[in-house]
Structure 1
């Protein structure tokens, strides 16, 4: 069972930075990814919202990625189970090592 999205926070993901995640598509495909960044964005938080906005950046070898830019996925990790569906966007790999695909999930 998926966690309610409004209960997710950066504190939940920060200790899990590293490998062990997967993005699962509706067609059943799974893309193993590593969580490389978990950043809070206080200035982007909606007034009165209980949680601080945050973003998650994931990477994997670009050669392993089918051609797409973004879409709806379930995020999976052994400690968390499945979360989602979530909108995942492939972003430019600026600041990351060559040959990596970078994906971002934003929680406002």
Structure 2
């Protein structure tokens, strides 16, 4: 099953904090990540938008991430199948365990 990007909302991820996901990167490599946060951003939501803007932060051990910096990825979870492609960027690993690589996806 594939979920359309225009139907994705923070509610889809609210009960999945701490769950494992897979990110398939631009080169086809798979990276096992854990959902660290899901934050809605009402003040960043465009007027008339059908959903509230939100962001997701994922993390994994930095050693496992290797040179993976992000890009257009497909996100996979057993609860919903695939979402994407969506743009994911490596960010500073704030609020995740030491020695982690962190990645963020933003939905407007």
Instruction: Name the TM tier (shorter chain).
Output: over 0.9
* TM-score (norm. length: structure 2): 0.93
Query: In 1, Cα distance between the equivalents of 2:95 and 2:79?
Result: 28
Q: How large is the Cα RMSD of the aligned pairs?
A: 1.2
* TM-score (norm. length: structure 1): 0.93
Deviation at 1:88, TM superposition (A): 0.4
Aligned residue runs from structure 1 range 1-108, under 5 A = 1-108=1-108
Q: Residue 32 of structure 1 aligns to a residue in which SS? A: strand
Gapped regions of structure 2 (runs ≥ 5): none
Gapped regions of structure 1 (runs ≥ 5): none
Q: Deviations 1:7-33 (Å, cap 9, x if unpaired)?
A: 110001011111320001243321000
After the TM superposition, which of the residue ranges 95-104 and 73-82 deviates more from structure 2? 95-104
Deviation at 1:68, TM superposition (A): 3.6
Q: Residue 96 of structure 1 aligns to a residue in which SS? A: coil
Q: Deviations 1:23-70 (Å, cap 9, x if unpaired)?
A: 012433210000010000000000011100000000100010121432
Query: In 1, Cα distance between the equivalents of 2:80 and 2:68?
Result: 26
Q: Residue 2 of structure 2 aligns to a residue in which SS? A: coil
Change (3 A) 1:69 1:29: closer
After the TM superposition, which of the residue ranges 16-25 and 98-107 deviates more from structure 2? 16-25
**Number of aligned positions between the proteins:** 108
